[in-house]
């Protein structure tokens, strides 16, 4: 099975599996000094779309409520703007904590985050193969793993605009086409050991 089929067919799990309990521990350490002041929530440009506010998310992380955390959209809505990290009166690394939750969702292939996870994995697959992202390939991979026949149409107007301006290259840039396969493999090896 190639890796793309893997992105596609990996068993999605509805509930957070057991190892997640352990993988939550480092994140709990990151936010354990939270005083629930709500500054992070007040600073977050995406809070309006979140089901749990960032403050509530940290509360659940501290209590280890993995079911609540991994059914919430909150961390997947973080756009990595670093406002909360900048303003938290306890100086907690909140953006990194959001990313760490995304990494668990990607690793465990949790169903509620399928869309973003597949997008990110398709992008990385293209980088892995060529060292740089190849826009056409990456979006094709994404559409393929999403199996939604209507999805490409959402991007069609932009795609056409970019293509007509020559911004999406159909071919690989001539130089620097080295693969990053070895780097990716080593990272996987170290992370799984």
Partner 1 sequence: MGELGAELVEIEDWTCCGASAAEATSYLLSLSLPACILAKAEKMDDTSQILVPCSACYLNLKKVEEISRNNIELLNKINTVLQEENLHLQGKMKVRHLLDILARDIGPAKIFANLKSPLTGLNIAPYYGCQCLRPYSVFDDPEEPRSMEPVIEAVGAKIHPWDMGGRCCGASHMTTKPDVALELVAAILKAAKGADAIVTVCPMCQMNLEAYQKKISGMSGEDLSMTILYLPQFLGLALGLSEQDLRMDLNLSITKAFRDKLNRTQISADIHR
Which stretch, 9-17, 44-52, 136-144, 161-169, contacts ligand SF4 (CB under 6 A)? 44-52
Nearest to 25 by CA among 74, 60, 62: 62
Applying CB under 6 A, among 24, 58, 61, 110 the residue interacting with ligand SF4 is 58
Q: Is 136 in the site for partner 1 (CB under 8 A)?
A: no
Q: Is 94 in the site for ligand SF4 (CB under 6 A)?
A: yes
Applying CB under 8 A, among 3, 120, 140, 163 the residue interacting with partner 1 is 120
Q: How far apart are the first and last CA of the chain?
A: 22
Q: Cβ(75)–Cβ(83) under 8 Å?
A: no
Q: Is 62 in the site for partner 1 (CB under 8 A)?
A: no
d(CA 70, CA 12) in angstroms, rounded, equals 13
For residue 110, the minimal CB distance to partner 1 (Å) is 13
Q: Is 49 in the site for partner 1 (CB under 8 A)?
A: yes
For residue 27, the minimal CB distance to ligand SF4 (Å) is 12
Burial of 73 (0-12, 13-18, 19+ CB in 10 A): middle
- Give φ, ψ of 110 to 5 degrees: -70, 130
The total number of residues written for the chain in this structure: 193
Q: Closest CB to ligand SF4 among 82 and 143?
A: 82
d(CA 186, CA 1) in angstroms, rounded, equals 20
d(CA 17, CA 37) in angstroms, rounded, equals 31
Select from ligand SF4, partner 1, none the partner in contact with residue 90, using the beta carbon and a kind-dependent cut-off of 5 to 8 Å: ligand SF4
d(CA 15, CA 112) in angstroms, rounded, equals 9
Q: Which positions touch ligand SF4 (CB under 6 A)?
A: 31, 34-40, 43-46, 54-55, 58, 78-84, 88-90, 92, 94-95, 98
Q: Which residues bind partner 1 (CB under 8 A)?
A: 45-46, 48-49, 76-77, 79-83, 85-86, 95, 99-100, 102-103, 106-107, 115-117, 119-121, 123-124, 127, 131-133, 154-155, 158, 161, 165-167, 175-176, 178, 180, 182-187, 190-191
């Amino acid at each position: 099975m190639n890796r793309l089929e893997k992105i596609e067919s990996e068993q999605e799990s509805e509930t957070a599996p057991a190892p997640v309990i352990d993988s939550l521990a480092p994140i709990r350490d990151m936010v354990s000094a939270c005083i629930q002041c709500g500054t992070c929530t007040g600073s977050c440009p995406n809070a309006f779309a979140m089901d749990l506010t960032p403050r509530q998310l940290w509360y659940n992380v501290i209590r280890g409520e993995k079911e609540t955390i991994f059914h919430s959209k909150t961390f997947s809505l973080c756009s990595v703007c670093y406002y909360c990290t900048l303003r938290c009166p306890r100086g907690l690394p909140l953006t990194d904590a959001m990313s760490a939750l995304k990494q668990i969702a990607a690793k465990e292939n949790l169903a509620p985050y399928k869309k973003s996870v597949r997008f990110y994995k398709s992008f990385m697959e293209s980088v892995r193969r060529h060292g740089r992202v190849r826009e056409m390939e990456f979006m094709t991979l994404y559409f393929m793993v999403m199996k939604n026949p209507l999805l490409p149409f959402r991007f069609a107007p932009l795609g056409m605009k970019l293509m007509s301006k020559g911004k999406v290259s159909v071919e690989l840039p001539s130089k620097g086409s080295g693969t990053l396969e070895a780097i990716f493999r080593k990272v996987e090896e170290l992370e799984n050991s």
